[in-house]
Amino acid sequence: MGSAARHVVRGHGARRRNVGRHRPRQGGFAVIHRIVVGISGASGAALGMRVLELLATVPCVETHLVVTRAGRQTLAHELGDAALKRAEVLATAVHPVNAIGDTVASGSFPTSGMIVVPCSVRTLSAIAWGLSDNLLTRAADVHLKERRRLVLMVRESPLHLGHLRSLIQVTEMGAIVALPVPAFYRLPERVEDIVDAVARRAIGHLGLDLGLNAEPWEGLVDARRAAGETERSSPARQRTPAGSPP
């Protein structure tokens, strides 16, 4: 069943990552976390790329990438023509979205979880109502039926009633809906900071100890101290009161 997967062979390109090296061992066996990463056509391709980049730094992680046709278009539009190739190089194995009989389509293929990032409402709806019409939605359905972690980073706004019902449906089925909401309380300075924090939160929802989780929140006072501030005023507080001298 796995013949359709195009495995990325390390050592034949400029970027090499030996997945079998330096794996932590437990009871004499290498501990491997297989994670399926799906990228659909919603805006936010940088989030999917950052998830792949972070997971590629962990020797015990094996990533299996599935990109929809719309996802390919969004990657090229938002990150450039070379983005898809970079995503494929970061992954351990690349599975064509139309290869419905591939390894990740079977519950007998063990995985530690799956992230769809970004997740379009079209993909959300297909998962919510069991429409396994491509490998991404089939793999997601497998994770639900096998009671494995499935994280959906749905990227859409505003939402109509149908969207909300799909969100409720997948949540009741066991999926985790992780909206890409920026953590402004961390005082990010760049867009990259926001993307990194959101990606780390998504990975954290897999419940695996990979050392990639965002720094824990230590409270407002400690955050200000870390930023070298004793008080942070909003722009509204800095305005000159009406009737006051300039």
- Percent of the chain past pLDDT 70, that is, above it, reads 77
Q: Which residue has the higher pLDDT, 82 or 16?
A: 82
- Judged against a pLDDT cut of 70, whether residue 246 lies above it is answered with no
pLDDT for res 112:
97
- Judged against a pLDDT cut of 80, whether residue 9 lies above it is answered with no
- Percent of the chain past pLDDT 90, that is, above it, reads 70
CB atoms within 10 A of CB 219: 8
pLDDT for res 228:
63
pLDDT for res 234:
47
- Judged against a pLDDT cut of 50, whether residue 15 lies above it is answered with no
- For 150-185, b where at least 16 C-beta lie within 10 A, e where not — what string? bbbbbbbeeeeeebeebbebbeeeebbbbebeeeee
Of 43-52, 84-93, 234-243, least confident by mean pLDDT is 234-243
Q: Where are the chain's structural domains?
A: 29-226
In this prediction, residues 206-216 reach a mean pLDDT of 84
pLDDT for res 23:
46
- Judged against a pLDDT cut of 80, whether residue 54 lies above it is answered with yes
Residue positions in the annotated binding site for FMN? 41-43, 68, 120-123, 155
The pLDDT tens digits for 56-109 are 999 999 999 999 999 999 999 999 999 999 999 999 999 999 999 999 999 999
In this prediction, residues 157-161 reach a mean pLDDT of 96
Of 17-21, 51-55, 85-89, 114-118, least confident by mean pLDDT is 17-21
Residue positions in the annotated binding site for dimethylallyl phosphate? 185, 201
Q: Which residue has the higher pLDDT, 103 or 234?
A: 103
pLDDT for res 120:
98
pLDDT for res 58:
93
pLDDT for res 211:
84
The CATH number assigned to the domain with range 29-226 reads 3.40.50.1950
Of 76-80, 118-122, 178-182, 218-222, least confident by mean pLDDT is 218-222
pLDDT for res 16:
34
pLDDT for res 219:
83
Residue positions in the annotated binding site? 41-43, 68, 120-123, 155, 185, 201
| Average pLDDT of the chain to the nearest whole number | 85
- Judged against a pLDDT cut of 70, whether residue 227 lies above it is answered with no
